[in-house]
């Protein structure tokens, strides 16, 4: 039976190098499940695989978009499922590696078929948010969909705005549209979670940010600064440096904020992933144990 091995975990945990070795071990291409590595201008800040790493193992969904391109988890699901049908003809095992929670769930479980939001509506709500803050948007969402209002993180402006967009586009509560059953996939899914002790993980995240700055993250962020209003650039590593360019923060403070926001994001990722009982967890150094686990799962499905 064809299989998809999903290697997931928080930012900075060590997915990239292990994914390369697993790809080589199982003769598998790698599908990136990182929503920001899709953008070709965000190489350093997203820790995208290098040209040399992509020569070792064929990668997909890395550096294929401009920062001005719109992309979402629904489109990722559609494109990955179509690609897997093709790849599985030559590769019984395909590897997907990343930490974007919604993108991984979209491929493994399916995502609700929500309408595409018009650019005009999105622009209107973004303008409202910029001029009056999130309160009037929260108030509209509470009126149109009190169920989702009580479930959503009301401090996450992107999710609040998106939920209201869907309510206004469809004339229906967002919560009523998010009820699709889990989609069945024509392949086995094996989920491998990577984690480290908190102190170890945070130390790696801090070091990685320092390394990004040495590699030229400041210059990379400066190149895309004129497009800072785009959703693709509202991400850790860039939005903090934009504050520095705006004169609101010192560079040292911005770097410290990148580290802090990266650690906070890692916590959110772990909270999300720990709800999934299908994930088997390992330390990244347990490579042999991970390979044995995958081989056992593959063998079990062939019996």
pLDDT of 198-235, one tens digit each?
999 999 999 999 999 999 999 999 999 999 988 889 89
Using the 8-state DSSP alphabet, how is residue 232 labeled?
G
Task: Name the segment(s) of the chain with CATH classification 1.10.20.140.
Answer: 119-177
* 87-91, 122-126, 285-289, range with the lowest pLDDT: 122-126
What average pLDDT does range 266-277 have in this prediction?
94
pTM: 0.83
Q: What is the pLDDT of residue 113?
A: 66
176 membership: H or E segment, kind and range: helix 174-177
The residue with tokens 């320092």 is 210
pLDDT digits (tens, 9 = 90+) for 6-57: 999 999 999 999 999 999 999 999 999 999 999 999 999 999 999 999 999 9
pLDDT band of 135, cuts 50, 70, 90: very high
- 175 or 127, which is more confident: 127
Q: What is the pLDDT of residue 171?
A: 86
Q: What is the pLDDT of residue 101?
A: 94
Task: At 115, list the tokens.
Answer: 């309408």
CA distance 94 to 17: 16
Q: What is the pLDDT of residue 179?
A: 60
Q: What is the pLDDT of residue 180?
A: 63
Q: What is the pLDDT of residue 175?
A: 81
Q: How many helices (H) and strands (E) does the chain have?
A: 14, 6
CA distance 98 to 5: 11
119-177 in CATH: which number?
A: 1.10.20.140
Task: At 255, list the tokens.
Answer: 């770097």
6 neighbors 17 (Cβ within 8 angstroms): no
Of the CA atoms within 13 Å of residue 296, those in its CB half-sphere come to: 8
Q: φ, ψ for residue 292 (rounded to 5)? A: -60, -40
Using the 8-state DSSP alphabet, how is residue 39 labeled?
B
Task: At 147, list the tokens.
Answer: 């169920």
What average pLDDT does range 168-186 have in this prediction?
82
Q: What is the pLDDT of residue 119?
A: 81
Exposed, middle or buried: residue 174 (CB in 10 Å: 0-12, 13-18, 19+)? Answer: buried
CA distance 194 to 101: 14
Query: Is a pLDDT exceeding 90 seen at residue 193?
Result: yes
Q: What is the pLDDT of residue 302?
A: 63
CA distance 291 to 303: 19
**Domain 3-112+181-302 top-level CATH class:** alpha beta
Torsion-angle region of 95 (φ positive above 0: left; ψ -120 to 50: alpha; else: beta): beta
164 neighbors 137 (Cβ within 8 angstroms): yes
Q: What is the pLDDT of residue 178?
A: 67
Query: Is a pLDDT exceeding 60 seen at residue 303?
Result: no
Q: In the chain, what's the furthest Cα-to-Cα distance?
A: 63
Helix, strand, coil proportions of the chain in percent (round to 5)?
55, 10, 35
CA distance 167 to 216: 42
Query: Is a pLDDT exceeding 90 seen at residue 116?
Result: no
CA distance 219 to 226: 13
pLDDT band of 176, cuts 50, 70, 90: confident
What average pLDDT does range 225-254 have in this prediction?
95
Mean pLDDT (the chain, rounded): 93
Q: What is the pLDDT of residue 38?
A: 97
**Distance linking the first and last C-alpha atoms of the chain:** 10
Task: Name the segment(s) of the chain with CATH classification 3.40.50.300.
Answer: 3-112+181-302
């Amino acid at each position: 039976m064809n299989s998809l091995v999903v290697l997931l975990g928080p930012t900075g945990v060590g997915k990239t190098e292990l994914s390369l070795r697993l790809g080589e071990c199982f003769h598998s291409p790698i599908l990136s499940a990182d929503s920001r590595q899709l953008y070709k201008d965000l190489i350093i800040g997203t820790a995208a695989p290098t040209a040399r790493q992509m020569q070792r193992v064929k990668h997909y969904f890395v550096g294929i978009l401009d920062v001005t391109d719109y992309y979402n988890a629904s489109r990722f699901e559609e494109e990955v499922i179509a690609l897997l049908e093709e790849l599985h003809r030559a590769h019984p095992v395909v590897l997907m590696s990343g930490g974007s929670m919604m993108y991984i769930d979209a491929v493994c479980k399916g995502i609700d078929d929500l309408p595409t939001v018009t650019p005009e509506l999105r622009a209107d709500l973004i303008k409202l948010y910029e001029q009056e803050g999130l309160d009037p948007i929260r108030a509209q969402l509470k009126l149109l969909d009190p169920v989702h209002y009580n479930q959503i993180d009301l401090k996450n402006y992107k999710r609040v705005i998106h939920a209201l967009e869907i309510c206004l586009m469809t004339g229906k509560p967002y919560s009523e549209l998010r009820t699709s059953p889990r989609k069945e996939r024509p392949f086995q899914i094996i989920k491998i979670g990577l984690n480290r002790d908190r102190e170890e993980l945070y130390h790696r995240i801090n070091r990685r940010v320092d390394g990004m700055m040495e590699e030229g993250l400041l210059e990379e962020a400066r190149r895309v600064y004129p497009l800072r209003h785009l959703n693709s650039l509202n991400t850790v590593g860039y939005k903090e440096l934009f504050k520095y360019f705006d004169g609101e923060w010192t560079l040292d403070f911005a770097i410290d904020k990148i580290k802090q926001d990266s650690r906070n994001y890692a916590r959110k990722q772990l909270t999300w992933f720990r709800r999934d009982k299908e994930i088997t967890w390992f330390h990244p150094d347990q490579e042999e144990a991970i390979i044995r686990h995958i081989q056992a799962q593959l063998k079990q499905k062939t019996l």
